Chain A
Amino acid sequence: EADIYQTPRYLVIGTGKKITLECSQTMGHDKMYWYQQDPGMELHLIHYSYGVNSTEKGDLSSESTVSRIRTEHFPLTLESARPSHTSQYLCASSHLLSSGNTIYFGEGSWLTVV
């Protein structure tokens, strides 16, 4: 069982609010990721990190920002939420990716912006 945790699981907020989605893993993984997934659709990588003080943009452009001050913690922040940000956000982690390495996912954070 993966030791990666996301909070909150579900959140409904008003337009213009600032929100931070928390993600923590206890597996000592160097690499962490944030994916965005609309219901029943494919996953899109929006951010990733190779380790402390490393953050990179993913394949899908996102208005969110991330930080990696500690190895185990990779929070995602939306400074001003909009209805278009409504989606599921999945955090994941792995050892530095090489052939066959497994990515472990959290249970996801469902964000609804009204």
Chain B
Amino acid sequence: AQKVTQAQTEISVVEKEDVTLDCVYETRDTTYYLFWYKQPPSGELVFLIRRNSFDEQNEISGRYSWNFQKSTSSFNFTITASQVVDSAVYFCALSEIETSGSRLTFGEGTQLTVNP
């Protein structure tokens, strides 16, 4: 079973639009961590955020915001006023500390294209 599901394979928006990337996860651990990474065309993995299972506070960082809801096992990522430079593949990832240690399990990724 897919532990991390990113149902949106590709999203295309026009610059300045807001866009939300969905992430649904599955785990039986009570202690786990969720992440978002950005992978631009150059290929490197850029860390965006980490959230632990005990902290459901939403977070905002500039144009980025994250909504963590344990009740729906979701950790969604919103980019406000998108820019062309936001074009990349975005991965949601899970670390199940109790069962799998620190290894990261990634979702299949969402390709975001921001058009000028």
Asked if A pairs with B, the answer is: no
Q: Which residues of B contact A (CB under 8 A)?
A: none
Q: Which residues of A contact B (CB under 8 A)?
A: none
